Structure 1
Amino acid sequence: MKEQIVCKQHDIQPGEMQEFTFGKVGVVLCRTPDGEFYAFMNSCIHQGAPLGKGKLCGATQSTTDGPGEYEYCQVGEIIRCPWHGREFDVKNEGKMLADSSKKLKSFNVRVEDDDVIVYK
């Protein structure tokens, strides 16, 4: 199993993401507001944009209040591509919001002491 310490836990605050290199592969490491870490290849599946240059944000969903009523949800759980706005659900295997049959390549992450470790 290939693994690598990419940072310390305190290097990335909840709701933030950072770019790292895992071996020779670019990786974007995300930390959701609940403190969990997720790692994905730092390349949008659409046209290869560096996702780490995008935003870790939320999404909108319709409410039961009636047509045209929406709420902002999943705050800090959605990666938005910097080039064309494609959105990926961090907590749902990096699946694209517009087409859940497509998803980002992901990596496993664990925390030991204060080290954040990415592995295959």
Structure 2
Amino acid sequence: MKIVVSRLDEFPPGERRIVRAGRRSIGVFRVGDRFYAINNHCPHMGGPLCLGRTKPWVSSAGPGEYEMAGEEALVACPWHGWEYDLETGQSFLGPGEPPARTYSVSVASHVEEGAVPADEVAPPRTAVKGGRRPGPYVTETYPVHVEDAYVVVETSPRPAQVPGPVGGAS
């Protein structure tokens, strides 16, 4: 099903619209010249996902250093702060993620054999995309395009990828 969101000239960059199609509620975001459509239902606890704040990806190379990507690419659910990539619908751990792991510290008069100096311990390699790990939730996204000067969301089921024959033809 095609849903007409608005005329292109009435949908400026940085804006969002929420449209309904039956029981479905979809948030459509214009980020620069790109459009994204995402389900307005947070998979975490059902909050109105598309009413949340948007922000760009932020990455850090170290304490006090950060770099922001140019355009907003994440939306945060206003209920609990879960953040979702507008393009893929993937959640990322950020607000609401488990607290940082803690370790016991003691003062010793000697260093035990086999101990590793702190500056030689490699950081964990679980970071993905902007220093964040993917979370457990993924929300549905929809293709958006401009058709005859109108912004249109396509909600028809996407064709399933059919695997090819294994081992060649018999």
Task: Compute the TM-score of the two structures, normalised by the length of structure 1.
Answer: 0.82
Contact 2:90 2:138 in 1 (8 A): yes
Contact 2:49 2:77 in 1 (8 A): yes
SS of 1:10 mapped into structure 2: helix
Q: Structure 1 residues 100 and 12 mapped into 2: Cα distance closer, same or farther (>3 Å)?
A: farther
Contact 2:8 2:150 in 1 (8 A): yes
Distance 2:90 2:13 in 1: 20
Determine the structure 1 residue equivalent to 2:150: 115
Instruction: Work out whether 1:59 is the aligned partner of 2:94.
Output: no
Misfit runs of 4+, over 4 Å: none
SS of 1:84 mapped into structure 2: coil
Contact 1:29 1:38 in 2 (8 A): yes
Q: Say which structure is richer in strand.
A: 1
Identity value in percent: 32
Determine the structure 2 residue equivalent to 1:97: 92
Q: CA RMSD in A?
A: 1.8
When Rg is computed on C-alpha atoms for both structures, the one with the higher figure is 2
Cα distance, 1:67 vs structure 2: 3.5
Determine the structure 2 residue equivalent to 1:78: 74
SS of 2:71 mapped into structure 1: strand
Distance 1:72 1:106 in 2: 24
Determine the structure 1 residue equivalent to 2:5: 6
Distance 1:10 1:51 in 2: 25
- Corresponding letter in the other structure for 2:43: I
Q: Unpaired segments of 5 or more residues in structure 1? A: none
Contact 2:57 2:72 in 1 (8 A): no
Q: Paired residues, what number?
A: 115
